[in-house]
Amino acid sequence: MTATPSPAADERRALLLRLLDAAVTAAHPRGCLVPELPPPPAGRLVILGAGKAGASMAAVAERHYREAHGLTPDRLLGQAVVRHGYGEPAGAIEVVEAGHPVPDQAGIDATRRSLDLAAGAGPDDLVLVLLSGGGSANWIAPAGALTLAEKQGITKALLRSGAAIDEINCVRKHLSRIKGGRLALAARNAGRLLTLAISDVPRDDPAVIASGPTVPDPTTLSDARAICAKRGIPLPPAAEALLNDPANESPKPGDPLFAHTAFRIIARPVDALNAAAAAAAAAGYEPVMLGADLEGEAREVAAEHAAIARQMAAEGRKVALISGGELTVTIRGEGQGGPNQEYALALAVALDGAAGIAGLSADTDGTDGGRGEATDPAGALVDETTLARAAAAGLDPRVSLAGNDSTPFFERIGDLVRPGPTRTNVNDCRIILVG
């Protein structure tokens, strides 16, 4: 096991980055949004965007309606709320940057504006909702007497507990005035409401993407209470009151409220993974899909994938193991990192320097856990030299893994993946090259 990557290892690492870029490009609004945009309405077009792709989607849509249909500012208005660092100019559509994954006051103020714009739409108007992952934190409107600080505390506790994204969103829906179909309720006087979404969730469930603000909510107050109990989430009195109030139940399937609404997904995690697979095949690797919707503890999934990679290597196969989904991390230490970096670190430990194997794990939105800043890394690379280079730098990967401290580990050896904000989000992309 050498401490310096060989030319072949360098080639594999460069290829991994190209495959990630292919995945991200396939899911960017520039390539997938315009064909799905509807004709303009007789009245006004109200564009409401949220999530990490909110501004990029709004920019593409605004340009299309202005240039292709000649819509003027009196007929084209709206707002997009995005994570800090993910904004971009969107013409007539106001762009507001707000907190993620922990919401902030900017998100509250912007959400009030979005609800007002939806409520102001009339029978000749179309409300076009452009939705993407991250919208749950960006569109923040605490219900009842719940305060922002209390909502932040609940979100942080859920994140630290290792709760899956559908569990987190279930609780969020029942503490909100916009999630769980309530944006559709606000826009009930509009002639039509259409949601175009970029999915970042397993199985592409519209009720889970950004906590389903425009679709019926199949989860219940009872479900939210059970999740909080299971995960040991301390609840302030205002939250307990909301979760115990039958009048606070979210709109359900079959509600006539949704008769004038439609929902379409324009990019899915599997689309990004298929693009990476095609690029891998073009580079001479046999693509092997391990699943687009994987869930589970990051370190455990990494160990499983390492075993598969070792078996493929033993068989002499030249393959690209590709997977997506959203893994979780149960916080045990006080370190810095995210699910993709923890997966990569656990993968390096499990591979233990196995020759001819290199891997990458990164979030397609450009940031993975960390401090919630746009400058956070998206993930990390590993190869047969990772552990030797770490040892030369005085690092113990098992100690770092035990402390959930993957970012400093990979930063020391120069293996962080830092594409910056990609302005799309179709969840994680994991690729292991064998042979």
Q: Which tens digits make up the pLDDT trace of 377-400?
A: 999 999 999 999 999 999 999 999
The burial of 25, by beta-carbon neighbours within 10 Å (0-12 exposed, 13-18 middle, 19 or more buried), is given as middle
Q: pLDDT tens, 44-85?
A: 999 999 999 999 999 999 999 999 999 999 999 999 999 999
The answer to whether the Cα torsion of 30, 78, 120, 208 is positive or negative is positive
* Mean pLDDT, residues 333-339 taken together: 92
Please tell me the distance from the alpha carbon of residue 158 to that of residue 292, in angstroms, as a whole number.
24
Let me know: does 300 contact 230? Beta carbons within 8 Å.
no
Let me know: does 286 contact 319? Beta carbons within 8 Å.
yes
Quickly state the pLDDT bin for 3 (edges 50, 70, 90).
Answer: low
Helix residue ranges per DSSP H, 321-405: 339-351, 386-392, 397-402
Q: Before 253, cis peptide (omega within 30)? A: no
For the CA atoms of the chain, what is the radius of gyration?
Answer: 22
- What share of the chain in percent tops pLDDT 70? 98
Please choose, from the candidates 265, 325, 275, the residue with its C-alpha nearest in 3D space to the C-alpha of residue 298: 325
Question: CB within 8 A of 212, min separation 6: which ones?
Answer: 169, 173, 179, 180, 181, 206
Relative to beta strand 126-132, strand 94-98 is unpaired
Lowest pLDDT segment from 176-185, 198-207, 365-374, 425-434: 365-374
Quickly state the pLDDT bin for 1 (edges 50, 70, 90).
Answer: very low
Q: Is the pLDDT of residue 9 over 70?
A: yes
Across the chain, mean pLDDT equals: 95
Q: Is the pLDDT of residue 189 over 90?
A: yes
* Mean pLDDT, residues 251-270 taken together: 97
* Mean pLDDT, residues 329-355 taken together: 95
Residue 290: predicted pLDDT: 98
pTM for the model stands at 0.90
Q: pLDDT tens, 291-330?
A: 999 999 999 999 999 999 999 999 999 999 999 998 999 8
* Mean pLDDT, residues 352-360 taken together: 97
Let me know: does 275 contact 26? Beta carbons within 8 Å.
yes
Helix residue ranges per DSSP H, 200-325: 221-231, 237-243, 269-282, 298-314
Q: Is the pLDDT of residue 159 over 90?
A: no
Q: pLDDT tens, 15-37?
A: 999 999 999 999 999 999 999 99
Let me know: does 312 contact 287? Beta carbons within 8 Å.
no
Please tell me the distance from the alpha carbon of residue 395 to that of residue 399, in angstroms, as a whole number.
8
User: Does the domain spanning 7-26+270-434 belong to CATH 3.40.1480.10?
Assistant: yes
Beta bridge partners of 197: 131, 265
For the domain made up of 29-141+176-216+251-267, give the CATH fold: Rossmann fold (3.40.50)
Q: Is the pLDDT of residue 370 over 70?
A: no
Question: CB within 8 A of 316, min separation 6: which ones?
Answer: 435
Please tell me the distance from the alpha carbon of residue 299 to that of residue 276, in angstroms, as a whole number.
23
Please tell me the distance from the alpha carbon of residue 320 to that of residue 357, in angstroms, as a whole number.
10
Residue 7: predicted pLDDT: 76
Could you tell me the residue ranges of all domains in the chain?
7-26+270-434, 29-141+176-216+251-267
